[in-house]
Each structure stands twice: as C-alpha cells, then as structure tokens.
C-alpha cells in the first residue's frame, strides 16, 4: 500500500459512507491518490419483495441512475474539486462487488464505513466480509480521519504480518508528521499447562515472561524498519489482546489503529473472533487492516 495511488470508497449514501469518503479524501490529498466512489445496489430476492411490501417501486436500472446521479454530485463537490474522482454503481452483493471493483481498478486500498443502520450489527456486515476477503488493505472508518492525524497505534505479535502493518503505519505517520506506537499484549489467558490436570484436577498457570525475556523479540521486530525519520515508541501490557488494544487506543487518543489480520496463529482465512475482527468491532477510532502477502481471495 506504500504506493497509495488508487482508493476505492464504498459509499452507502448514508452516514457511514460520508465518514468513509471524508477519510479517503484526507488520504488522497496526502498521497495524491485518485478516488473511485462505488455504490452497490443489492437486488431483493423474490421472497424479500413479497415480505416487504414497502420496497422501492423503481427498477434496478432506475435505482442505479438515481444513485449514480447522487455519486456524481458528490464527485463535483468543492471538497473533492482538486482530486481525480470516478463513480460507479454496481448490482449484487455489496462486499463481493466492492472487492471485484477494487481488483478491476487495481486499487491499493478499500475504505468503508462501519454499519450505518442501528439494526445492522457489525458481525456479518459488509465491512466485516470485506475485511475477510479483500486482497488489499481495508480501512474501516469509524469517525472522520483528521487531516492533522498524529498518532498511529500498531499492535504487534512480532509476526511477519505485524511487521508489514508496521511498515505501512510508518509511511502514514511520516506523511502526517505523526508518531507510531508499537504495542505488544502479553495475553496469558490461554497460557496454562495440563501436566497435572489428571492427578490434581487443575491446570497450572505458566509464569509470564519478564520484559527482559521479550526484548529479543522487540529487537528482531524493529530491526530494519525505517524508523529514522518518524517519532516512535514501544510498550507492552498484560491482558486480553483485543481488549487491551482498544483500551490503549482510547487512552492515547489514537487517530488510527494499523493492524495485521494474520498473526502467529493465523489461518488461510480470518476466523470469527480473531483479534483483528474484535478490534474493528469495538474500537472507536478508524482501523486499517493489512493483509499478509500470501492471502488469496476466494468468494464464499
């Protein structure tokens, strides 16, 4: 993503889309990137049309024309006047069409808002599905990204995917003249041995590592990163990973969390309940998720 030249903005023509667009505009101005506003019209199945008598009387073509006109109006607004902006209306499943649009346009980043409707939980939402399936980095904009953003939080488990997230965060911080905080969570909740479980009926907790014991991990992780021209710091905290990350972001008033989606226990597909998903669901600031190099897109 370090060559950030093309940004797809998933715009639902609601509050979430407005936040996504505003955040994408800030990034586009910083990096000189082009924007492509994409709205997806999802056709209703026949049973849905029967069960929802108040659905729109317009045809898909008419809806596409109306939404296309609204996107065009956004594209020529004063806020976007200095940017290269394109618009597209697609039909289908929103998460699938946004990913396909990104691939067709060779986008470097997809920006979406969190669920706009209160009745739509984030679990299983368009945003979550894009996070799981997109090949490129995905930013879920929880609140407008400030043009004066200064603090970028990078959770790390010292894995290669976390290192890639760190590289992207350093580029962002440099462009904003901001700082990066690398954050490691010592999560001891699953750290138990079962050596005596049969004899004593209990498991024995494993002693947590000392700061000195994880220092070699820090050295290996930070080695070779372009840290010279960026303010940065590192810290560690004990707790459950996702909870500690969100708490730390709130404490330091982070403008963005930049997190890898697959760590040391990663699988070919991000699992429900993974750290990255929990962070995106619960953080109050925007979250940029970074894919591992080997991730391959597969439709469900």
Q: Give the pLDDT mean for 278-298.
A: 80
Q: Which pLDDT score is estimated for 203?
A: 59
Task: For residues 188-193, give the mean pLDDT.
Answer: 54
Convert 20-47 into a string of H (helix), E (strand) and C (coil). HHHHHHHHHHHHCCEEEEEEEECCCCHH
Predicted pLDDT of residue 117: 44
Round the average pLDDT of the chain to a whole number and report it.
Answer: 84
Q: What is the pLDDT of residue 122?
A: 43
Model's pTM, two decimal places? 0.85
Rounded distance between C-alpha atoms, residue 145 and residue 257, angstroms: 12
What integer pLDDT is reported at residue 272 of this predicted model? 41
For the ranges 147-161, 209-223, 252-266, which has the lowest average pLDDT? 252-266
The mean per-residue pLDDT over the stretch 271-300 comes to 75
Categorize the per-residue pLDDT at 196 as very low, low, confident or very high, splitting at 50, 70 and 90.
Answer: low
Q: How far apart are CA 168 and CA 290, in angstroms?
A: 8
Question: Rounded to an integer, what distance in angstroms lies between the CA atom of residue 228 and that of residue 155?
Answer: 20
- 209 pLDDT exceeds 50? yes
| Tokens 């990163």 -> residue | 225
In the block, which residue shows the tokens 């019209």? 41
What is the predicted pLDDT for the residue at 274? 82
Q: How many helices (H) and strands (E) does the chain have?
A: 10, 12
53 vs 74 pLDDT, higher one: 74
| 3 state SS of 181 | strand
Domains parsed from the chain with CATH numbers: 1-147 (3.40.50.620), 149-300 (3.40.50.620)
Higher per-residue confidence, 125 vs 281: 281
- Indicate the pLDDT class of residue 46, thresholds 50, 70 and 90: very low
Backbone angles phi, psi at 137, to 5 degrees: -55, 145
**pLDDT surpasses 70 at 98:** yes
Confidence of residue 299 (pLDDT cuts 50, 70, 90): very low
The pLDDT score that the predictor gives to residue 206 is 60
Collect all residues with Cβ–Cβ distance below 8 Å to 160 and sequence separation of at least 6. Answer: 292
């Amino acid at each position: 993503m370090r060559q950030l030249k093309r940004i797809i903005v998933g715009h639902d023509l609601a509050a979430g889309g407005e936040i996504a667009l505003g955040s994408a505009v800030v990034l586009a101005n910083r990096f000189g990137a082009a924007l492509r506003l994409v709205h997806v019209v999802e056709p209703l199945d026949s049973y849905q049309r029967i069960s929802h008598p108040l659905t729109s009387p317009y045809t898909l073509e008419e809806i596409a024309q109306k939404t296309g006109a609204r996107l065009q109006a956004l594209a020529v607004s004063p806020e976007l006047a200095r940017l290269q902006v394109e618009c597209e209306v697609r039909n289908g499943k929103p998460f699938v069409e946004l990913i396909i649009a990104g691939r067709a346009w060779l986008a470097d980043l997809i920006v979406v808002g969190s669920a706009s409707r209160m009745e739509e939980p984030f679990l299983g939402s368009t945003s979550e599905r894009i996070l799981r399936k997109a090949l490129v980095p995905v930013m879920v904009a929880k609140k407008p990204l400030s043009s004066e953003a200064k603090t970028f939080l990078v959770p790390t488990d010292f894995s290669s995917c976390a290192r890639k997230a760190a590289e992207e965060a350093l580029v962002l911080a440099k462009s904003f003249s901001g700082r990066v905080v690398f954050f490691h969570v010592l999560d001891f909740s699953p750290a138990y041995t079962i050596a005596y479980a049969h004899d004593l009926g209990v498991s024995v907790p494993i002693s947590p590592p000392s700061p000195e014991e994880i220092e070699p991990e820090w050295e290996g992780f930070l080695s070779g990163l372009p840290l010279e021209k960026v303010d940065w710091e590192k810290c560690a905290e004990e707790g459950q990973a996702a909870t500690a990350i969100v708490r730390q972001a709130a404490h330091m008033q982070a403008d963005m969390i930049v997190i890898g989606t697959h760590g040391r226990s990663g699988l070919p597909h991000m699992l429900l309940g993974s750290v990255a998903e929990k962070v995106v669901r619960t953080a109050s600031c925007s979250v940029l998720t970074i894919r591992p190099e080997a991730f391959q897109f597969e439709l469900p």
